[in-house]
Homo-oligomer: A and B are copies of this chain.
Amino acid sequence: MIVDRKIVRFDSLPLDCGVTLTPVDAAYESYGELNSKKNNAILVCHAFSGDAHAAGLSPETGKPGWWDNMIGPGKAFDTEKYFVICVNVAGGCRGTTGPSSLNPATGKPYAMAFPTVTVSDMVRLQKKLLDHLGIDRLLAVAGGSMGGMQVLEWAVRYPDCVASAFPIATTARHSAQQIAFNEVGRQAIMADPDWNEGNYYDLKPPARGLAVARMVGHITYMSDDSMKEKFGRRLQGKDGPAFFFDDTFEVESYLRHRGSQFVDRFDANSYLYITKAMDMFDLAQGGSLPAALEKAKARFLVISFTSDWLYPSYQSLEIVSALRSRNRDVAYCELASNYGHDAFLVEVDEQTELVRGFLARVFKEM
């Protein structure tokens, strides 16, 4: 199933920072059909390095979407019943306006002149697009990692528009450790002379810095156990114990490969802006989490994974406790998995069971 990306241009998007983006493009994909009541729409929100290509095959790369195992006919988000939509985030680099887009004021890419974007801005752009499509209320908003932050933001920002919310492997705010890992990535990019204060669009991109940033990311997405299973201490093209300096462990070449691959599909300035948006995200906005979540009216299904040390279960439990303290409708499931943070992308079977049943019940009440 080849899926085309669509782009809608809006005149403007006012941002939290006070600047208004004019114009702003929203790139999205959709799967399934919107029914006549327009009450079967599900918004799926992508994680930091994802994009609108959530399912099906890309006509450009031929590759399946990042949640293709969860979205499709008969799958968790069943496209025979539901209309699923995914939007590239504001500040991104895959069709939606971001730092690599042309700044109409200068006719050149924004680069670091791009205004600060927040998770709330990302959600506001998605809302604009749904208004444009005539969708008043979502059957569900779902997403993992930074996608889960958008889910939480949707639920409290537009409570009447969200029937159910699935924040997965996420948090209501980043811890110091999560900020620290993102900061290392940003510093790696900015340490690369090719970054050139963000002005590299007509030169060469900061490929080495971006690759190092991605390597750090990959370590945090896996678990100690899953790395052990996948690589152990095996050497690239050599048997026996490692000894000499030019011995390369498989895990080293894997990380280098994933790092350099990333450079072809991601913009370094978007990396800076989006990771900063994640770090700045604080659902409670300095207040209490229960007070923030009290605004939500959705039915929540919160999911975390045992071996996810980047977004540990205690962060999901904070969300669950806050919801329960205000008598909100919430189910919580910690799934056993060795895959670390990546689990939300790969643990399909148990997530499918949970999501399918939950969606069916909510849809009945729409």
Contacts and interface: CB of A to CB of B under 8 A. Distances in A.
A193 to B, nearest CB: 6
Interface stretch (A27-35, A37-45, A75-83, A278-286): A278-286
A207 to B, nearest CB: 9
Given A191-B192, A230-B176, A280 B243 contact: yes
A17 interface: yes
B177 A245 contact: no
Interface in A213-235: 215-216, 218-219, 222, 224, 227-228, 230-233
A356 interface: no
A160 interface: no
Is the contact region of chain A dominated by helix, strand, or loop, or is it mixed?
helix
Interface string A231-250: 11100000011111101010
A363 interface: no
Nearest to A248: B183
Number of copies: 2
Contacts of A249: 176, 179, 183, 279
Given A251-B183, A252-B183, A245 B193 contact: no
A273 interface: yes
A224 B187 contact: no
B175 A279 contact: no
Contacts of A243: 16-17, 116, 118, 280
A255 interface: yes
Interface in A184-222: 184, 187-188, 191-193, 208-209, 211-212, 215-216, 218-219, 222
